[in-house]
Chains A and B, each alone.
Chain A
Amino acid sequence: MAVAIHIKNVMKKYEDNVVIHNLTADMQPGELFTLLGPSGCGKTTLLRMIAGFNSVEAGTIAFDDQVINNIPVYKRNFGMVFQNYAIFPNMTVYRNIEYGLKNKKLDKQEIRRRVAEIMETVQITQFKDRYPNKLSGGQQQRVALARAIVVQPQVLLMDEPLSNLDAKLRIEMREAIREVQKKIGITTVYVTHDQEEALAISDRIAVMNKGDIQQIETPESIYSRPYNTFVAEFIGHSNRFLGIVEGQESGDTLIRMQTGLPIRVKNVKPLARGTEVLVYVRPEEFIFTDEQQGMKATVLVKRFLGKYIHYVMDCGTGEHVEVTADTSSAERIHQPGETVYLGVNVNRVNLFDKEKETTLLEGVESHV
């Protein structure tokens, strides 16, 4: 049932404005594939090309082996969940969900059974006779999801489905979507600008910027091994330092950070001594240590956030450095004005080419 989606060298332009240049990506059968990026990066445009609401100027989009470029929207067999839900205001919950099935020459018994089943799955059976204006945002979202999947489409497309919900509901619905999607095993393309949502829900994430895919990877890999500085900065926070290659030692690369701290990094592509590189360190990858092993830092701001403590520090680089520490493992809470010494977890730092801003680590690829 589940199909793969193959997007090959597609291009999209509005008049003379090229929004997507030459984009290639493959979605595996049954996976939840997220398009993540800042607004205007082309993620919704790409989704709407898959749906058929936007035309494809060049390249092909295929469900398995079938190229769908010229198939009209209503024959593509996909379900879609819209940012504003797009529940038909003139129909009850039941009628909304039934709408797509009525088109499919099924007998009435079968329609009723499937609507009942899906309403059970997304837990809206009790609202079946209500009109949409009597439903909360979360309930409307569930109706939209049920309506999209009840027709058993080949592909499910979701366009920022949670962005109109409040924070608590967003997490609840995120889990519900994930659960239903896995249960049905439907190939899903999910668009969001919320990185936390993307990390939590996706099998794989494609990070997009300015109409191009920067990297396609699993949430874990994309967070720990970003392909370029855009990904490193867009997903989570990264502190940026300059560093100079000082040589190699038994396969590891020795780098001195601009703060004077020497680090020893594994799996680095061959680099000439003296090459300038970018060293990216995430806030949670700092280690509080002593004067011999660490670089000097002054606490500027301290925020106690319960589970962890967030500091803004000055390491003498002219830029603010963000550092977080687990409350449970922190020996003590440092106060603004205090001087501390920081080391870094060398297994978790990322190195980037200073000019191209792409990774210098072996085995980290953009995509395809």
Chain B
Amino acid sequence: MFKKGVRFDFWSFVGLLSLIFFGLFLVIPVIRMMVFSVQTGKAIFSFDNFARFFSRKYYTRALGNSIKVVSAATLLVMVIGVPLAYITTTFKIKGNRLINILVIISMLSPPFLGAYSWILMLGRNGEITQFLNRLGIELPSIYGFGGILLVFVLKLFPYIYMYTKGALKKVDASLGEAAESLGYHGIQKVLKVSLPLVLPTILAGATIVFLRAFADYGTPYLLGEGYNTMPVIVYQEWVSETGANAYFASAVAMIMIVIAAVVFLIQKWITSRKNYTMSMLNPIQPKQLHGVPNILAHAYVYLIAILATLPQIYIILISFRNTKGVMWADGYGFSSYINVFTKSLSSILNTFEFGIIAIVIVVVLGTLFAYLTVRKTNFFSKILDVFIMFPYVIPGTIFGLLLLMTYNQPPLVLSGTAIIIIISYVIRRMPYTVRSSAAILRQISPSIDEASASLGYGSMQTFFNVTLPVMVPGVVSGAILSWITILNELSSTLMLYVGRTQTMTVTIFQEISRGGYGPAAALSTILTLTMITSLLIFFKVTKSEDIDL
């Protein structure tokens, strides 16, 4: 086939494929956006867009709002999540496993559903608000800074909780004992030994929280009421009624990407300087607390778990309420579900169709790319590694915009197709699968590949016979995250959908926007149940009770 000395094998092919894939759907769109951001309709090159952004209060206020609410959320999330992780790993808490699963579920449901649920409870016409009003109690408004913060914190603290718990599980119990033998105990021990060891991980979690909150479009859109944030601005500029301005939207998007990238790089830099390796022999064994501390610990854990799950449960409950038009009616029944299945069946089917196609591609490419980045370290695989992780810093709204601006004109017109939505899902949700597959691959000695080669198998056969089977657990635990987050994807779909390609999340979002709370609740419940079912199947198959972030 190929001449001697030319080392073109299966992996060269995969490498080429990855470069084409990311080149088309990441590099070219990003370059296009960069170019757009320094152009106006008239000028080939100018900084007018940036000048306009920074000179108008409307925009600078949105930037300030974003940074304020996202920073506040990140800090609060650490204040809540770190103690929760510490308490649940160090002390015996009744119902620990159930709480863990509840927290995972609340983490994996899309933020805007939380916003929607809290509006129904605490909004102007919210049930709790009305109930308290009757008692003469006025609640502070849920709209604006406070409400967005509430939703962000309850939605995102699980990331810190999961990350910290994962790190604490890797801290050897004897380190704590050593600290005690040297005279440190109680809170001192925690602050001097445990906390510094897990700090890099907490920072990594905090970065994810920051980036997710910064990118979130649904929550500020629903709860902002004038409290604009950056993703809202990008969306508005793009679909502006006074004429879409792709150039200005690109400039705003670039500002967001730069901020996100800076935060991401700072975290990487700090983590790379503080990276501990620990010999792990004895994991921390949870201790039984007694008396008041025991009650306090339980109260704290339960309160957080209830607050985090409340929105989900509330949505499930009201999905069975009868409706009359867009209004609630008395009694309970399946009217919302009947409504949904007659009117919105196509969006349900779309979600599953796009989701299944996307997850198959994610798993296939993710596994191959993970192998490439771990085992074939060269210049190209390092670039590939950057490409794969890039979606972390690109908010969904902006990623949708990127694809749309590039592929809405010849030579390749993809706008309005299902393909463009699937591509967006694949690129945005692949990092979970790649990361987790790469993690397991790093633990497997490359010599098993070499052993297979020495026994006469080529690189492709070796991969499928030996490497892949060993990677499966890592691939599966990454794929479950990819799958659930694909189902929940809203922000880029919102940019990319047309009537035919509407998904469940888009329909829910539209229903909420126009006040159709019944169908929204029914669809959300279907989504939540799909997610829970997927998780339970995952737990059953992998015999685990946790997911790895």
Interface, chain A (partner B; CB < 8 A): 51-53, 70, 72-80, 82-84, 86-90, 99-100, 103-104, 144, 147-148, 151, 157
Contacts and interface: CB of A to CB of B under 8 A. Distances in A.
Contacts of B5: 70
Given A80-B450, A86-B450, A90-B466, A100 B4 contact: no
Interface of B: 4-5, 444-445, 447-448, 450-458, 462, 465-466, 469-470
A88 B4 contact: no
Contact of B4 (A52, A70, A78): A70
Interface of B: prevailing SS: helix
B456 A100 contact: yes
A190 B454 CA distance: 16
B4 A80 contact: no
Given A53-B450, A70-B4, A86-B448, A100 B455 contact: yes
Nearest to B458: A74
Nearest to B466: A88
A104 B451 contact: no
Contacts of B447: 82-84, 86
A230 to B, nearest CB: 30
A94 to B, nearest CB: 15
Contact of A147 (B4, B450, B451): B451
A77 B453 CA distance: 10
Given A88-B466, A90-B470, A104 B456 contact: yes
Contacts of A104: 456
Contact of B455 (A53, A84, A151): A151
A89 B468 CA distance: 11
9 contacts: A73-B453, A74-B456, A78-B454, A80-B450, A82-B450, A83-B447, A89-B470, A99-B465, A147-B451
A89 B470 CA distance: 7
Contacts of A99: 452, 455, 465
Contacts of A78: 454
Contacts of B448: 86-89
A292 B254 CA distance: 93
B496 to A, nearest CB: 40
Given A82-B447, A86-B447, A103 B455 contact: yes
A84 B446 CA distance: 10
Contacts of B452: 88, 99
A86 B445 contact: yes
Contacts of A157: 454
Smallest CB-CB A-B distances: 6 pairs: A100-B455, A86-B447, A90-B469, A86-B451, A82-B447, A73-B453
A241 B31 CA distance: 72
B456 A148 contact: no
B284 to A, nearest CB: 25
Nearest to B448: A86
A141 B445 CA distance: 15
Contacts of A83: 447
A89 B448 CA distance: 9
A77 B456 contact: yes
B13 to A, nearest CB: 15
Given A103-B456, A103-B457, 16 more contacts: A53-B453, A70-B5, A72-B458, A74-B456, A75-B456, A77-B456, A80-B450, A82-B451, A83-B447, A86-B445, A86-B451, A88-B448, A89-B470, A90-B469, A99-B465, A144-B451
A78 B454 CA distance: 6
Contacts of A84: 445, 447
Nearest to A89: B470
Nearest to A76: B454
Nearest to A90: B469
A80 B465 CA distance: 18
Nearest to A48: B450
Among B447, B453, B455, B466, the one with the most A-chain Cβ atoms within 10 Å of its Cβ is B455
A59 B453 CA distance: 23
Nearest to A79: B454
A6 B5 CA distance: 21
Contact of A74 (B4, B444, B457, B470): B457
Contacts of B469: 90
A236 to B, nearest CB: 32
B330 to A, nearest CB: 59
A52 B462 CA distance: 16
Contacts of B457: 74, 103
A121 B456 CA distance: 23
A51 B454 CA distance: 8
A76 B455 CA distance: 9
Contacts of A52: 453
Contacts of A89: 444, 448, 470
Contacts of A70: 4-5
A76 B453 CA distance: 9
A91 to B, nearest CB: 8
